[in-house]
Structure 1
Amino acid sequence: MNLFDLKDEVAMVTGAGSGIGQRLAIGLAEAGADVACFDLPGQQKGLEATVESIQKLGRKAIISTGDVTQAADLKASVDRIEAELGALSIALNCAGIANAAPAEDMGYDQWRRVHAINVDGVFLSCQAQARVMLPRKKGSIVNIASMSGSIVNRGLLQAHYNSSKAAVIHMSKSLAMEWSERGIRVNSISPGYTATPMNLRPEVAEQVKIFERDTPLGRMATVDEMVGPAVFLSSRAASFCTGVDLIVDGGFVCW
């Protein structure tokens, strides 16, 4: 028996057009799931690449566009998933943004935009997904948080981002407890510094050297290294895991 097999499962991945979300969508398909890939309309090219990779694995995939801060967009996506792929049983909520500014100078609009996407967007995604999972008493939801929800990164001025990811961790635990007797497991993954396109830009090369220096394993994670944790928490292997924040950071928070 393969505890990590996701065959016959139907998954929804938000933020599937790039970065960690894109790799995790493909990773779920590698484990056997059919996957609905959700992202903003502006991520169409990335979504098409994600779907093409999934289909090459012999799994079904659809593109669904919308905004995670809009409940109507998420409901429409879930309805379409149920109609075209089948009963939604796995969700990975990866959509999020990051930027930086000194707290004393940060405009309220900047604060609110980060929280709207990173917190409101995760809650609305969980809500839409749970509404179809709860009647069936079956489902796994995994939210992508960050080690920045547990620690404060030295040298980065991100009070808005850090607090948003702390909210994701505690929201996931709260939903896990609320839905624990109704068949839905809710967990979060907190990546450390990861080699996403944002961290591979030439202009942040010197900062990346600091990230690598400060990580006990001496490097950033690859997006591939987030696949195992996501598949684990989504699979029968984690059937007794709920309310967990799985930190995948190369040991960073130990220091």
Structure 2
Amino acid sequence: MFRLSARSTLLRAACGPSPAVAAAAAGRAQQAYRNLSSSSPLYKEDEKAPAATINAEGGLARTDDSVRVEYPTDAEMPQTPIVQGRGGRHFKRTLASFSLEGRTSVVTGGARGLGLVMGQALVASGSDLAIVDLNQQEAELQAKKLLEQFEKENPGLDRLPKITAHYADVGDPESVTSSISRILAEHTKIDHLVTSAGFTENFDAISYPYDRIQKLWNVNVDGSYLFAVEVAKHLMERKAPGSMVLIGSMSGSIVNVPQPQAPYNAAKAAIRHLAASLAVEWAGAGIRVNCISPGYMLTALTRKILDDNPDLNKKWTSLIPQGKMGVPEDLMGAVVFLTSDASKYVTGADLRVDGGYTVT
């Protein structure tokens, strides 16, 4: 508190209208800083508040080792509802370059959460869709629901989108290659890729089981790399342009608090730089690669985590300039923009959809 007051005094001195007042204020502030940097500690050792107390009060930006969230098993995962997509046929003036008519898109991790909603956005914008997921049964169910929702919103169309479901363990090269082959057998081509398969966990770095860290990196980083490479091979063989969107996180740019998640943060930083690196490497082939970095999103899983850890909601929203968490639908426009020709001169970019979290 004292540090902040001293800094504020300096700022007022720098901005004040009177040089004499400014000089006096600056002198007082400098003396305050000298006092702070003396041999006397700001807090005595027995007066320091524990990290959990400080975080609960929102006093300091630090992690709290008591926050621990393990990614749930598949059976415990809540199902993601289908949201409104296109909202019916409409004739409002919109740039034609946003259309994905005649395209085929692949979304990994597409049976739940952000992947499902982004896949729905691509379908609503004209694309056929291949949903890829570790849970093929869930993928098949959601493919059926997506088609039903599209028919409900767009009655009387001559042609309906083709939506298929496919299994893949995204971190296994053979499984990825096999999945791509099955997608091509159904759709004959792939134009766009969205790598949404991924997960996060909260363990302090010292206690995090190493086998779980390996799994996290395998799904988040290896999965994005392997699918991107396979789709790039296909596009190059066709001599066709294409666009990819790797799903990162604001955690690839900042360190979240209070939950400790160093391996996840590092994995998402890797995704961001992977997208930029592939964008440069494949630019000559007409393949664009960009990254979307979502902030805190109220998915079905996030709601479950917040129900189990109610203090997190208050802490998170207190750090978001817009004062609220996002919803999966907030990513629909972003993914359509980056896959479509509306962004044809955009590659290697990181589009942060975080309510301003990372700019503060």
> TM-score category by the smaller chain?
over 0.9
Instruction: Return the match for 1:153 from 252, 256, 260.
Output: 256
RMSD: 1.3
Cα distance 1:249–1:14, how it changes in 2: closer, same or farther (>3 A)? same
How do residues 83-102 of structure 1 correspond to structure 2 at under 5 angstroms?
83-102=185-204
How do residues 31-180 of structure 1 correspond to structure 2 at under 5 angstroms?
31-41=125-135, 44-54=137-147, 56-57=149-150, 58-135=160-237, 136-180=239-283
Q: TM-score by structure 2 length?
A: 0.68
Q: Which moved more, 1:135-144 or 1:170-179?
A: 135-144
Count of matched residue positions in the alignment of Structure 1 and Structure 2: 254
Query: Hey, what does 1:23 align to over in structure 2?
Result: 117
1:246 aligns to 2:339 (yes or no): no
CA distance in 1, matches of 2:149, 2:206: 49
The Cα shift of 1:132 comes to 0.3
Aligned-partner SS, 2:96: coil
Deviations, residues 189-232 of structure 1 (Å, cap 9, x unaligned): 00000001121112133312221221111111110000100000
CA contact (8 A) 2:110 2:116 kept: yes
Higher alpha-carbon Rg: 2
Query: Hey, what does 2:103 align to over in structure 1?
Result: 9
Q: TM-score by structure 1 length?
A: 0.96
CA distance in 2, matches of 1:86, 1:32: 17
Give structure 2 stretches of 5+ with no counterpart: 1-94, 151-159
Cα distance 1:157–1:95, how it changes in 2: closer, same or farther (>3 A)? same
Instruction: Return the match for 2:340 from 226, 235, 249.
Output: 235
CA contact (8 A) 1:188 1:246 kept: yes
CA distance in 2, matches of 1:103, 1:56: 43
Query: Hey, what does 1:207 align to over in structure 2?
Result: 312
The Cα shift of 1:46 comes to 4.9
How do residues 188-207 of structure 1 correspond to structure 2 at under 5 angstroms?
188-201=291-304, 202-207=307-312
Give structure 1 stretches of 5+ with no counterpart: none
**Which amino acid is 1:76 matched to?**
S
Q: Which moved more, 1:107-116 or 1:237-246?
A: 107-116
Greater relative contact order, per chain length (Cα 8 Å cut-off, separation 6+): 1
**Which amino acid is 2:340 matched to?**
S
The Cα shift of 1:86 comes to 2.7
CA contact (8 A) 1:37 1:61 kept: yes
CA distance in 1, matches of 2:233, 2:180: 9
**Which amino acid is 2:208 matched to?**
M
The Cα shift of 1:35 comes to 0.1
Aligned-partner SS, 1:11: strand
CA contact (8 A) 1:149 1:163 kept: yes
The Cα shift of 1:47 comes to 4.2
Query: Hey, what does 1:216 align to over in structure 2?
Result: 321
The Cα shift of 1:55 comes to 5.1
